[in-house]
Amino acid sequence: MAPAIQDLWLLLPGDRPEASRALGDMLAGYEDFCDFEPRELHLVEALRTLRLIHYAAWLARRCVSRRVSVV
Query: Which of 4-18, 22-36, 39-53 bottoms out in mean pLDDT, i.e. has the lowest?
Result: 4-18
Question: Domain map of the chain by residue range?
Answer: 5-66
Angstrom CA distances, 17 to 8, 21, 31, 32, 57, stand at 17, 6, 21, 24, 29
pLDDT at 52: 92
Query: Residue 70 pLDDT more than 70?
Result: no
| Digit-coded pLDDT (tens) for 35-62 | 999 999 999 889 989 999 999 999 999 8
